[in-house]
Copies of this chain bind each other. A is one copy, B any other.
Amino acid sequence: MIKKEAQNFEIDNLDIDILKQLMVDGTKPYSEIAKDLIVSGGTIHVRMKKMQEMGIIEGTHLVIHPQKVGYDICAFLGIFLEKGIQYKDAVAQLSKIKEVVELHYTTGTYSMFAKIICRDTNHLRHVLNEEIQAVEGIQRTETLISLEESIKRQIELS
């Protein structure tokens, strides 16, 4: 009998309520969260520790507006891989390109799909023509440039 990895669901509504608050503002004091949810500060701490050990929490990150520090361009790249190319090898090479901030192995039109952040059009051209083209196994790519990021949020837990 195969054991189901059910520990993923050993979180209750209190845990979810805590996560919801910290996902919006990671600096919110435990003491305030405790007041909101009518439990003690110690409980928040215990729950957070449990979820960290369970690996549910990836971390707390300061998020900046890339445009305000000179990164004006956000682009998506649909990547077609050559046949017989190991996906892992392409990932290893692409991960060395710092402008690639997200990479997915996908079904559908493309083999892989990447999100790229660049300073300006010159920078983007350099990344596409020099960096990406140098990756072995990439047959061709298709570029979508984001003119506006209209929505950006995390999933709403329930």
- Could you list which residues of chain A lie within 8 angstroms of chain B, going by C-beta atoms? 8-9, 11, 16, 19, 22-27, 54-66, 68-71, 74, 76, 78, 91, 94-95, 98-110, 112-114, 117, 142-157
Tally of this chain's copies: 2
Enumerate chain B residues within 8 angstroms of A100, measured Cβ to Cβ. 151
Enumerate chain B residues within 8 angstroms of A155, measured Cβ to Cβ. 66, 71, 98-99, 101, 117
User: Could you list 16 examples of A-B contacts with CB < 8 Å?
Assistant: A11-B69, A19-B64, A22-B62, A25-B61, A26-B61, A57-B63, A60-B61, A61-B154, A91-B150, A94-B150, A95-B150, A100-B151, A101-B155, A107-B147, A108-B143, A117-B155
Enumerate chain B residues within 8 angstroms of A142, measured Cβ to Cβ. 108-109
Q: Which residue of B lies closest to A143 (CB)?
A: B108
Enumerate chain B residues within 8 angstroms of A78, measured Cβ to Cβ. 109
